[in-house]
Structure 1
């Protein structure tokens, strides 16, 4: 019996253009994503470097001004449909499940989301969860197993009583190894509002 639901954020609630940042960076002359750049990105996403340090890296390497880098970096973020917030609020108000957010989200992205959604919408979203875990605040990132172990342990969650919803298969596969039930939601084909019709564990 499922008692707990852990949700991802991107392409679960907020729509993403996963190629948006790559396309925007290409217009700034960055056409190859190197291992060094991915390492910097992962460090930033885990909160192991500050936003200023992150921006400084790209300025030193490519002479990209801060404003253009931030705009390119946030190009991945699209809209957050109202129907998904309504669904989440209804689910939260039912009090049938303990709800958690677990997202690989960095400081620049979450600030952009807050600005674009506005305080009322964002706070209604955030307050629907018992805990709101962002990778840059807890210093773990998916699909590393440590992030799931951290959430399970901190909240005394039993894996077989827990459902994890994420759009990336590598993330749901990693969680499943620990015994967590999963739904690998496919964006544009499935929607989080279909939670009860698409999962047979809940």
Structure 2
């Protein structure tokens, strides 16, 4: 029986355009995201680089960039947060039938943009729905590394067999499943998180 719901953030609650940053950078003459650049991104998501440090790396490597053009390109991935999803999670929180948690790979610049797009009051309302709000850059771990799932399970005393993890990335749900956690690989073009209890009714 599911008692704990562990949600991803991007493309589960907030809409993303995952191709937008690469497209924006290509317009600035950066045609390829190299292995080294991906390593910077992973370090930044783990809080091992600051916003200033990752910006500096980009500006040193690509002199045509400015701090603002990099930030705008980087944050172009962040879109809107539909009101019906916020209403749904607020209602779920009020019903108090499940322990609710959020687990997101993110970074400081993206969260700043999320708050700007949503508005501080809506963001605070969303955050307050969760018993714990795990952001990768704050806990210095990221999905799909197994340590992050183990950390959440241990930190909140969760039984994997009573926990459902919802994420739009197959690697992340596969990693969680390997820990004995139930999963839903949500596909944003087809699914909506508000359909959870209809699409996964066999778990409830």
Identify whether the pair has TM-score above 0.5, normalized to the shorter chain. Answer: yes
Structure-2 residue corresponding to 1:201: 203
Which stretches of structure 1, 4 residues or longer, exceed 2 Å deviation after superposition? Answer: none
Question: Normalization by structure 1: what TM-score?
Answer: 0.99
Structure-2 residue corresponding to 1:42: 42
Are 1:7 and 2:7 matched, yes or no? yes
Structure-2 residue corresponding to 1:133: 134
Mapped partners of 1:41, 1:119: distance in 2: 26
Mapped partners of 1:84, 1:75: distance in 2: 21
The 5-angstrom pairing of residues 143-182 of structure 1 reads: 143-182=144-183
Give 1:26 shift: 0.5
Q: Deviations over 1:113-169 (max 9, x none)?
A: 111111110001000000000000000000011110000000000000000000001
CA contact (8 A) 2:161 2:182 kept: yes
Number of aligned pairs?
202
CA contact (8 A) 2:44 2:137 kept: yes
Structure-1 residue corresponding to 2:30: 30
Mapped partners of 2:75, 2:42: distance in 1: 16
Q: Describe the SS at the equivalent of 2:76.
A: helix
Ranges in structure 1 where 5+ consecutive residues have no aligned partner: none
Q: Describe the SS at the equivalent of 2:61.
A: helix
Mapped partners of 2:53, 2:120: distance in 1: 27
Mapped partners of 2:116, 2:84: distance in 1: 20
Question: Normalization by structure 2: what TM-score?
Answer: 0.98
Structure-2 residue corresponding to 1:112: 113
Give 1:28 shift: 1.0
Alpha-carbon RMSD across the aligned residues, in angstroms, is 0.6
Ranges in structure 2 where 5+ consecutive residues have no aligned partner: none
